[in-house]
Structure 1
Amino acid sequence: MAERLYKEIGEKIKQEILKSDMGIGDKLPTERVYAELFGVSRTLVREAFIMLEIEELIEVKKGSGSYLKARPFDRPDRQVSDVGPFELLQARQVIESAVAACAALTVTKADLQRLQDTLDLEEAEMQNVEKANAADREFHLLVAQATQNTLLVDNVLRLWDMRDNNPMWQQLHARIPESSYHGQWLKDHEKVLMQLRKRSAEGARDAMWQHLENVKRTLFELSDTEAPDFDGYLFS
């Protein structure tokens, strides 16, 4: 299988470092510079930066930039997941919004009660990041289960397992301040549940799409490694 593009960009950045006289602790050029140099989007460069951070070649300091932690030849390459975090989020957005639309037509009273119970738990555990994250996952899986379709459930479960076991996702997710995002995402979940109660397929699809758009925007903005004038666009 062909290498993912972000890996190719990561390797090109390594070569640029090797060709330069950059030393440990020196600041790397910005994502914008690399994007223009290689003729790719900043999203792609951002994922390459995350890969280099996982490989412990660079250190990201939010609001300051990225700094060389070790030159590429000083460390062996470390394997990372073949799927970048924003690619995974895009897949979730497409699939889970369609799943929510399907669930609106088949959801039962028991499903709705389980979803409400999970939201109550998510709200109660807002300050406990680990438990709030578990409730977040459970809510999305319960929406899938409300379709009464085991294949759809399996697909959503696979996406979440990829999310939970993806080192690039974990690296990016760790940058979010403690519990700061759960309030907004809980409101998003409540909107999804409201549309499921109404049995509105279109409303449920739109609510889930917007929820994952909010997640994507939050993670993208908090992964900023450049100056404060970052414009926040997605998937340029």
Structure 2
Amino acid sequence: MTGRRQYQDVAQAIRGLIADARLGEGDRLPPERGLSERLNVSRSLVREALILLEIEGAVEVRKGSGVYVSVAAPETAAPVRDDIGPFELLQARQLVEAEIAGFAARNVTKSDILHLREALERERADLARGDADYSGDREFHRLVAQATQNSVLVDMVEELWRKREQSPMWAKLHNRIFETTYRRSWLDDHEAVLAGLQARNEGAARAAMWRHLGNVRDTLMTLSDVDDPSFDGYLFEPVTRTG
């Protein structure tokens, strides 16, 4: 164990590969797929590592083109902070909040259902206005936890959301995304969670929340992809220079 987060180790490995290949400013890195295969890690870990390197200024991300070395990347560099990777955070939320939704179906009250419906209406209004505010989304998830009648579970969900909102890596991930239509599908997911809760069906509520947060992860992976699909560079050969 290194005592660091996995994406930090992957970022360190990418720095080493850049140094070994003697890549300089303006050189394009291979696609995430190649890095994932080379380092034997998931693409989500590679995505998080590249976000870290982007925050540090070691690489530049160009949507639809790929990731380029922006400065000579040292083999060792201190991380900007001990941030949680966005996909790691989503995985934790999926595991925790799916079980919370199932448990909430046992204990949900009529008042809980009414408050959840109000939260969904706020989300619909935000979407209609094109508002980028996620407070309605956060409130819905908090209310699901509140329906368990367990304050510890409410605190857990609120802490996960705080980590999301305070995360530079999460903010950088969203900077790569230029459309918001995906939020309509997330609202549909919330409606499915509410239907399971209203029916007091533990399995349906749990499955709907699991599916929802899986959809969030998959959507963010797809929309934040910056690779050029026509560029099939493998590892660090050949090196592509610009200018």
User: What is the TM-score when the length of structure 1 is the normalising length?
Assistant: 0.89
Alignment partner of 2:214: what SS?
helix
Residue of structure 1 in register with 2:19 after alignment:
18
For 1:38-77, list aligned pairs within 5 A: 38-73=39-74, 77=78
1:167 aligns with 2:172: no
Residue of structure 2 in register with 1:37 after alignment:
38
CA deviations on 1:66-99 (whole Å, 9 max, x unpaired) are 01122224x9644233421111111100110110
Residue of structure 2 in register with 1:123 after alignment:
124
| d(CA) in 2 for partners of 1:158, 1:38 | 32
Q: Is the 8 Å Cα contact of residues 31 and 46 (structure 1) preserved in structure 2?
A: yes
Residue of structure 2 in register with 1:233 after alignment:
none
Residue of structure 2 in register with 1:234 after alignment:
none
1:216 aligns with 2:230: no
1:152 aligns with 2:153: yes
Residue of structure 1 in register with 2:115 after alignment:
114
Aligned residues: 228
Residue of structure 1 in register with 2:237 after alignment:
none
Residue of structure 2 in register with 1:204 after alignment:
205
Alignment partner of 2:208: what SS?
helix
- One-letter code aligned to 2:90: L
- One-letter code aligned to 1:80: R
Structure 1: 5+ residue stretches without partners: 231-236
Question: CA 1:229 to 1:183, structure 2 compared with 1: closer, same or farther past 3 Å?
Answer: farther
Alignment partner of 2:67: what SS?
strand
Identity %: 48
Q: Is the 8 Å Cα contact of residues 186 and 212 (structure 2) preserved in structure 1?
A: yes
Alignment partner of 1:125: what SS?
helix
Structure 2: 5+ residue stretches without partners: 232-243
- One-letter code aligned to 2:8: K
Structure 1 window deviating more from structure 2 (172-181 vs 3-12): it is 172-181
Structure 1 window deviating more from structure 2 (31-40 vs 144-153): it is 31-40
Q: Is the 8 Å Cα contact of residues 128 and 179 (structure 1) preserved in structure 2?
A: no
| d(CA) in 2 for partners of 1:81, 1:151 | 25
Structure 1 window deviating more from structure 2 (178-187 vs 77-86): it is 77-86
Q: Is the 8 Å Cα contact of residues 28 and 65 (structure 1) preserved in structure 2?
A: yes
Alignment partner of 1:33: what SS?
helix
Residue of structure 2 in register with 1:193 after alignment:
194
| d(CA) in 1 for partners of 2:175, 2:227 | 18
Q: Is the 8 Å Cα contact of residues 100 and 143 (structure 1) preserved in structure 2?
A: yes
Q: Kindly report the root-mean-square deviation, in angstroms, between the aligned alpha carbons of the 2 structures.
A: 2.1
Alignment partner of 1:72: what SS?
coil
Q: CA deviation at 1:22?
A: 2.1
Q: CA deviation at 1:103?
A: 0.9
Q: Is the 8 Å Cα contact of residues 81 and 167 (structure 1) preserved in structure 2?
A: no
User: What is the TM-score when the length of structure 2 is the normalising length?
Assistant: 0.87
Which structure carries more relative contact order (alpha carbon 8 Å, separation 6+)? 2
| d(CA) in 1 for partners of 2:139, 2:11 | 34
Structure 1 window deviating more from structure 2 (102-111 vs 177-186): it is 177-186
